[in-house]
Amino acid sequence: MTKVLIDVTKGGKNSRVNMSPEEAAELGRNAAASRWEAYYAAHPEKLQARQEREARKGTRPRGRPPKKKARR
């Protein structure tokens, strides 16, 4: 019996050629969202940490502290 190897990577590249840029962008966004969803399903503590970081955004001053004035 002979094994036949199929290059499955060409399917995605060929289907991308037939899409508009908007469709391709939406497909990419959906793919990334599903990968993150699967990651957070496997690691719920990472999701909780991310949500806590998002909740803290904007509450702390960022950047370099102001310079102190020189005493004379």
- Predicted pLDDT at 57: 86
**The model's pTM:** 0.56
User: What distance lies between CA 33 and its chain's CA centroid?
Assistant: 7
Return d(Cα 8, Cα 15) in angstroms, integer: 12
Return d(Cα 42, Cα 64) in angstroms, integer: 37
**Residue-level length of the chain:** 72
> Residues 56, 49: contact at Cβ < 8 Å?
no
Residues 13-70: tens digit of each pLDDT:
777 788 899 998 999 999 999 999 999 999 999 999 999 999 988 877 778 888 888 8
